[in-house]
Structure 1
Amino acid sequence: MTATLIPPVHAAADKPAHRDSNVLRWLGAYTASMVGDNVYYLALSWAAVRAGTPSQAGLVMAVSAVPRALLMLGGGVVADRFGPRRVVIGSDAVRCAAVLAVAALLFAASPGLWLLALLAVLFGTVDAVFMPAVGALPARVTGRDQLARVQGMRGLAIRFANVVGAPLGGLGVALGGAAAAFGLAGLLIAVSVPLLISVRMRDLPTDGEGGLPSDGEGDLPTDGQGDGKAGGAADREADGKAGGAADREADRKAGAAADREADRKAGGEAGPRSMGAAPDTAPRATPWQDLRDGLRYIRGHRVLAPLLVAIALGDLGFVGPLNVGLTLLAEQRGWGASGMGWVLSGFGTGAGVAALLLTVRGRLPHAGRLAAVAILAGSVAIGALAYAPSLVAAVGTALLVGLLAGLSGALCGALLQTQADPAYLGRVSSVAGIVSLGFAPLSMPLSAAAIGWWGTGPVFVTSAAVCGLGGVVVLCSGPLRRAQLPR
């Protein structure tokens, strides 16, 4: 391995993420894209209702989920093979062009539901690539010790987009109908493209830095120690691999000259081949081999495998009650739409506070244990929501649910970001995305049917038990329970 030094791509690596202009440009691009998404969905819903029946409008709104769920794993492979920055820029460009094209057609004519359905399918297909790339991008923008803070910043951006997007979409509809709202959505998404182009990418870490080795048997930060294995090895900064032959700092700044040159020619965003610990990954591996390699990596990882199971259980137990179940609960209690809005506001406020806490602190100790406690306590709060004696009590309970669910979600996301090898983050994010966007929504019609049979109380309690199983999984997995966020 040559020792030729190359200046680091990201010179401001030591800055906290919330003070790093490079991270802030990424955050601005992500926020603009998310606000545009919210405006788009409102415009699509409005246009579909005006063009057809309510059932047809519901079908148009749901059709994008099919390609997104079916193609998400392939999207993770694409993100890892071609680099997440390139994929996110291309995805936003396609989404922007499609939405603006539909806006222009709606200004000129009334093409009907077929155009809206086509747009929804295209959006869902692009989302299948976009979402895994978004999950993989933070590791290329900042240092590993800042990824937890970035996760909190990302959560704040999502809350901001949810609060601002709907009113902006409504304003667009009021001023110029669905066409104006689609045009506004396209312009917001377009803002993200130049910001993303200006974001500087970091080189992928080498020889085990920035994530566990692929077999899941490497160093794991546990209980405040630098090494997670019993009888820990030498200091992580001194040794990147057992019996390492090269200094980690030299590897981080220099690496192998030939590999660096190949990565630079490929767009500065190397695939799995630049990671010394990646298993069975050749430079000319096929996409199918990359997919199998990613799934094998997740399955054999001591932290990621149980973490994804916990995330899946949490989503399955959370999505139904907080969507369909809450609507039916508000109707049964006579709270009305305004009351349900207050309950949702309580949830959003709690989740925002949790994201802000992680943004400000950057690191919470005993992340694995804290996530388990938050999941278990949050599941109890979900079950209690169905038995709130008044609207005020329901709002307070929803605030607690949002705080605990937001905290556990942020910690799980931060652990996923920091424990995964950056070269696999696209595929890891795609598996997490399938769980959240593919499996969890299936609980909504089941929750609605179950409430019709047994009532809100038993269904909320059952959903809370499913959610609580996620916390049990965390506690039963030693490596995940002891996992720490990097300092």
Structure 2
Amino acid sequence: MTTATAIPVEEHVPDRPAHRDPNVLRWLGAYTSSMVGDSVYYLALSWAAVQAGSPSQAGIVMSVSALPRAVLMLGGGVIADRLGPRRVVIGSDAVRCAAVLAVAALLFLTSPGLWPLALLALVFGTVDAVFVPAVGALPARITGKDQLGRVHGMRGLAIRFASVVGAPLGGLGVAVGGAAAAFGLAGLLIAVSLPLLITVRVRELPGDDTVGTDAARGTAWSDLVGGLRYIRGHRVLAPLMITIALGDLGFVGPLNVGLTLLADRRGWGASGMGWVLAGFGVGAGAASLLLTVRGRLPRAGLVAGCAVTAGSVAVGALAFVPTLAGAVAAALAVGLLTGLSGMMCGALLQTQSDPAYLGRVTAVSGLVSLGLTPLSMPFSAAAIGAWGLGPVYAVSAAVCGLGGIVALCVPDLRRAELPR
């Protein structure tokens, strides 16, 4: 574990509401700053890659980070569980900050071409494989289980804020000083998270006495196999992972590549696509705000299953509504329902997992959401070109709906509750 003050879990009852807990708010500030920095970084990377090479070369640079993130994600979960998530998050942010600032300095001094951009993308992808599981495992160590639902709502609001603010900030950086200035801004935003994370206090959880003791925990491989075996044998986590995988698989293609093609074929243009995305963002933000205010929703498993199922209908409707206003309304429903189901699933992952396995559980979930489902985007684009928008959206909605059916048909998941 880290050298931070550790609070035994049994001595921390009752917990103050997460939105009034300075410790949680410091974590939230660090997380928000880091996510805004990420948004600025991705814009700066895409701009610099386009300026330094051809569109196809820029596409390769942008995709370089995907492979190490997917391949190394499960190992990142083992590292987060072995070393403690706070230590891993701090180290990951420090590496990301140093790498981005180094490239900013290089671009300011010279024009090195694509190789430093590709190397930066590779570093980011590798570090993300460790960062994502650690970020997912950290909330359980800064607040009580009864506040994890609210924390997920707050985290959702931070993500929405970063997506709205990050792109304009990155564009401003490029306009003022080019890609070098934008990378510098991204590095500074990530750097802001470091002092906040250092001041975050973590609590001891069962099994923390073995963290960092390899002799007590066995080999890294045995930890990985043990984590996968733990998930497979868990009566809630196993079907929950299937629900998450099917929901994401049916959602990612239509809301990324599919939406661009839909706006083009309907004649809505870029502004119309922007309105549809805005509708989705408002819906997702409303779901985050609901959970932030309420803290928990009763019958979380049932709510998640119903939200995934209803959300799949809204996903399918996007391809059939004839007007832009109808598409915005459908996207609003998609954002609200998928946002709600995503936060319910995330909170259940946190509360149902044994603390000793949280990093590995988050790694499996992250591998599905960030490593595997993006691979469906080129297939979605090819399928739309071959069969049209309607059939592909209908199949995607059916896949997404299967995730909801799994949640509703497995009794242990359907009856799962968030702690009070």
TM bucket (normalised to shorter chain) is over 0.9
Question: 2:191 corresponds to which residue?
Answer: 190
Question: 1:150 corresponds to which residue?
Answer: 151
- Residue 20 of structure 2 aligns with an amino acid whose one-letter code is R
Question: 1:60 corresponds to which residue?
Answer: 61
Whether contact under 8 Å (2:8, 2:205) holds in the other structure is: no
Q: Offset at 1:20?
A: 0.2
Question: How far apart are the structure 1 equivalents of 2:355 and 2:160?
Answer: 26
- Residue 380 of structure 1 aligns with an amino acid whose one-letter code is V
Whether contact under 8 Å (1:12, 1:20) holds in the other structure is: no
Whether contact under 8 Å (1:69, 1:438) holds in the other structure is: yes
Question: How far apart are the structure 1 equivalents of 2:339 and 2:217?
Answer: 41
Question: How far apart are the structure 1 equivalents of 2:324 and 2:7?
Answer: 59
- Residue 277 of structure 2 aligns with an amino acid whose one-letter code is L
Q: Deviations over 1:373-406 (max 9, x none)?
A: 1111100011111011100111011101110010
- Confirm or deny that 1:101 pairs with 2:102: yes
- Confirm or deny that 1:398 pairs with 2:331: yes
Whether contact under 8 Å (2:280, 2:335) holds in the other structure is: yes
Question: 1:449 corresponds to which residue?
Answer: 382
Question: How far apart are the structure 2 equivalents of 1:336 and 1:18?
Answer: 40
Question: How far apart are the structure 1 equivalents of 2:415 and 2:14?
Answer: 27
Which ranges in structure 1 are unaligned for 5 or more consecutive residues?
A: 1-5, 207-259, 264-269, 274-280
Moved more, 417-426 or 88-97: 417-426
- Residue 302 of structure 2 aligns with an amino acid whose one-letter code is R
Question: 1:239 corresponds to which residue?
Answer: none
1:283 alignment partner, SS class:
helix
Whether contact under 8 Å (2:83, 2:212) holds in the other structure is: no
Q: Offset at 1:271?
A: 2.9
Is the alpha carbon distance of 1:184 and 1:453 closer, same or farther for their aligned partners in structure 2, counting shifts above 3 Å?
Answer: same
Whether contact under 8 Å (2:7, 2:202) holds in the other structure is: no
2:216 alignment partner, SS class:
coil
Question: 1:333 corresponds to which residue?
Answer: 266
Question: How far apart are the structure 1 equivalents of 2:386 and 2:281?
Answer: 29
TM-score scaled by length of structure 2 = 0.96
Q: Offset at 1:116?
A: 0.4
Question: How far apart are the structure 1 equivalents of 2:419 and 2:139?
Answer: 15
Question: How far apart are the structure 2 equivalents of 1:355 and 1:11?
Answer: 26
Whether contact under 8 Å (2:312, 2:398) holds in the other structure is: yes
Question: 1:77 corresponds to which residue?
Answer: 78
* 1:124-163 equivalence runs, <5 A: 124-163=125-164
Question: How far apart are the structure 1 equivalents of 2:370 and 2:15?
Answer: 35
Q: Offset at 1:442?
A: 1.3
Q: Offset at 1:437?
A: 1.2
Question: 1:413 corresponds to which residue?
Answer: 346
- Confirm or deny that 1:120 pairs with 2:126: no
Question: How far apart are the structure 2 equivalents of 1:290 and 1:8?
Answer: 24
User: What is the Cα-based RMSD across aligned positions, in Å?
Assistant: 1.5
**1:432 pairs with 340, 360, 365, which one?**
365
- Confirm or deny that 1:27 pairs with 2:28: yes
TM-score scaled by length of structure 1 = 0.83
Question: 1:250 corresponds to which residue?
Answer: none
Question: How far apart are the structure 2 equivalents of 1:139 and 1:407?
Answer: 20
Question: How far apart are the structure 1 equivalents of 2:7 and 2:373?
Answer: 45
Q: Offset at 1:46?
A: 0.3
- Residue 211 of structure 2 aligns with an amino acid whose one-letter code is G
Is the alpha carbon distance of 1:272 and 1:458 closer, same or farther for their aligned partners in structure 2, counting shifts above 3 Å?
Answer: farther
1:486 alignment partner, SS class:
coil
Question: 1:486 corresponds to which residue?
Answer: 419
Question: Hey, which bits of structure 1, 4+ residues long, moved more than 3 A?
Answer: 6-13
Question: 1:168 corresponds to which residue?
Answer: 169
Question: How far apart are the structure 1 equivalents of 2:351 and 2:161?
Answer: 24
- Residue 100 of structure 1 aligns with an amino acid whose one-letter code is L
Question: How far apart are the structure 1 equivalents of 2:354 and 2:150?
Answer: 18
- Residue 432 of structure 1 aligns with an amino acid whose one-letter code is S
Q: Offset at 1:205?
A: 3.7
Question: How far apart are the structure 2 equivalents of 1:176 and 1:272?
Answer: 44
Whether contact under 8 Å (2:94, 2:194) holds in the other structure is: yes
Identity across matched positions, percent: 77
Question: How far apart are the structure 1 equivalents of 2:223 and 2:297?
Answer: 34
- Residue 180 of structure 1 aligns with an amino acid whose one-letter code is A
Whether contact under 8 Å (1:13, 1:142) holds in the other structure is: no
- Confirm or deny that 1:315 pairs with 2:248: yes
Whether contact under 8 Å (1:38, 1:165) holds in the other structure is: yes
Q: Deviations over 1:207-256 (max 9, x none)?
A: xxxxxxxxxxxxxxxxxxxxxxxxxxxxxxxxxxxxxxxxxxxxxxxxxx
Q: Deviations over 1:41-91 (max 9, x none)?
A: 000000000000000000000010000000000000000000000000000
Pairs aligned (count): 414
